[in-house]
Structure 1
Amino acid sequence: MKKTALIFPGQGAQKIGMGKDFYETFSVSREVYDWAGEWLGMDVKGLCFEENDKLDITRYTQVGLLTTELAMLKAVETMEIVPAVTAGLSLGEYAALTAAGKISVEDAVRVIDKRGQFMQEAVPTGGAMAAVLGLEVETIEKICMETPGLVEIANDNCPGQTVISGEAEAVRLAGEAMKAAGAKRVAMLNVSGPFHSSMLKGAGERLEPELQRVRWLDSDIPYVSNTIAELIRDKEKITPLLVRQVSESVRWQQNMKVMIDMGVEVFVEIGPGKTLAGFAKRINRKIPCITIETVKDLEKLEALKC
């Protein structure tokens, strides 16, 4: 089998109807949605499949999106696809941990429920995020440091796409300075908080006791940490890194390069949308990225077994 990396998107990929065909087709996928609903006392199926105004609220986005990614993962696993490595963007890191065999589905769902709640409550108002296109990350970092107020790099996604996060006025001022410095575009993001900035440090601290209660599992499959962009095999390192992840930058471009350097031959993005596939093309066009967001997409995985 080709050396495969399973990768999972983060918040922003969610959409109504995601995973419904997996629920209707695979018993293993159906069980994930049903169990998640029972564990959390929440209508997770309704949240994901039916029109509602909750799915874009962080408190619920994280539960719905992770449950969907795990339901799709279980269907992929029926095809005997064994990854060499896994990674996920922000909340997608929890799906990556599950795919690497380091956490159970139940623990992942329970923790992400608390994570979404704590992040939502940490900064209910006063924060913002913006995507910066076409400007070097070094220039972005310099402008952030020079801007009055708190503004930081939240995501280094791929060449030419960086996200900044922090106090709303500081993000606005930094965005203006970045446009003046040559950015092709600076777009404010429709989010409910300044995620992956130090304004969320309190949320990470609240999450720590929840992570300490997780029964982390031994496995031979490594995953790549968002926070330090390194392969993680030792389960003892996971909790402190996930605490930091809430309020520190997601180094996705570096995550991808770690996997490329270890010889990954194909990426498989599992979840709604094609966000990570888009990043992958800008990082290294030579390595294909298969996207799995519908049951029909599973046919693409047959080629991996050759």
Structure 2
Amino acid sequence: MTDSAAATIDLAMFPGQGSQRPGMAAAALDVFPEIARKVFSRAESATDLPLTELCVSGSKEQLTRTDITQPAVVTTSVAAWEGLRSTGFHPRAVAGHSLGEITALIAANVLEFESGLAIVRRRGELMAQVGELTGGAMAAIIGLETEQVERMCATATGLVEVANYNSPVQTVVSGDADGVNAVAAEAKRAGAKRAVRLDVGAAFHCSLMSTIEAEFAAELDRHEFRDPTITVISSITGTVVNDGEEFRRLLRSQLTRPVRWTQVMEVARQHDWHSHAELGPGKVLAGLVRAIDPVAVVATTATARHLLSLSDPSMSTLR
């Protein structure tokens, strides 16, 4: 596919939790039925979850469960990746947002698919436990500069920290309910366009997750981490990382560290990479990219038409 739309892609991006939606595997199963079925079969064997059924006909409530969401999103993204790779899809680099970091490591051959799924399954279970024990909340603050939100977190009553640097004017905060509510209220008073509580099962990427770091590290130690075979821009550091063992250390710290998506896209811009594809359910990352890089063109794989466009230039939806 040397002349396809896929040949023009600089960065393949993998979404995280929050991108799940009912029927999210339909596109990959329609466009690449044999490859996608094989991916889902392997995932079901590795996780002991009925992922095909969940990702085709599962309810919103089922897919919102953290222990199900995480393997479901990763498997859907890998199915799109493997299908496109069979047609000659060769981006210059990969990156993943939060959970999507693990998908990116699978794509870059740092982790075997089954190892990635085992890590993801354990990650989801542990995060769900934290959610049950501590509660917690997250909110997206839209329309204020990151530095303003950081100052609000520093002075708020309760525990609240920046969880996602999504764009220069979209910052996600995470912590206990009192802290998150306080920052959301202050952000509205300061002129934020929106301060939206997120429908998540726990307070991700904040110090509330520190209680599960040791257990998660034990899971990470069960698996081999190799050096990547394709450039990986880590959303944990916001830099290119090329050492497998460093990724092992980073995934442990990711539980309590913020997602640096703005920095990921700045690295892409420094390389003059402006053509991207979001592989997986939804189009959250596509929206963030356009907010960060006004000249970027972005494809998604959320529907069969969009997925087909990456292997058929006459149907290209890059824009």
TM-score w.r.t. the length of structure 2 is: 0.91
- Choose from 61, 66, 72 the match for 1:58: 66
Displacement of 1:130 after TM fit? 0.8
**1:149 corresponds to which of 158, 164, 178:** 158
Aligned AA for 1:171?
Answer: V
Q: How far off its partner does 1:236 sit? A: 1.6
Render the CA deviation track for 1:194-244: whole Å, top value 9, x for unaligned: 111110112233211111222223333121122211101111200111111
Residue segments in structure 2 that go unaligned for 5+ positions in a row: 1-6
**Secondary structure of 1:54's partner?**
helix
Question: Whole-Å Cα distance in 2 between the matches of residues 17 and 203 of structure 1?
Answer: 31
In the alignment, the residues of structure 2 paired with residue 156 and residue 201 of structure 1 have an alpha-carbon distance, to the nearest angstrom, of 20
Corresponding pairs, count = 304
Partner of 1:110: 118
Whichever residue aligns with residue 19 of structure 2, its letter is: A
CA contact (8 A) 1:2 1:265 kept: no
Q: Give the root-mean-square deviation of aligned CA atoms.
A: 1.6
Matches within 5 A, 1:15-54: 15-24=21-30, 25-52=32-59, 53-54=61-62
1:234 partnered with 2:243:
yes
Unaligned runs of 5+ in 1: none
Aligned to 1:202: 211
Do structure 1's residue 92 and structure 2's residue 96 form an aligned pair?
no
Residue identity opposite 1:18 in structure 2: M
Does 2:180 match 1:175? no
The CA deviation at 1:21 is 3.9
Letter paired with 1:60: I
Q: Structure 1: how far apart are the matches of 2:180 and 2:295? A: 35
- Off by >3 Å, runs of 4+ in structure 1: none
> Which among 3, 8, 22 is matched to residue 14 of structure 2?
8
With normalisation by structure 1, the TM-score equals 0.94
2:287 to 269, 274, 278: 278
Q: Secondary structure at the match of 2:79?
A: helix
**1:78-116 superposed Cα distances (whole Å, 9 cap, x missing partner):** 111112111011111111111222111111111100000
Give the C-alpha shift of residue 3 in structure 1.
Answer: 5.5
Tell me the distance in 1 between the aligned counterparts of 2:90 and 2:110. 14
Q: Is the 8 A contact 1:130 1:186 kept in 2?
A: yes
Give the counterpart of 1:185 among 194, 213, 220: 194
What is the identity, as a one-letter code, of the residue corresponding to 1:209?
A: A
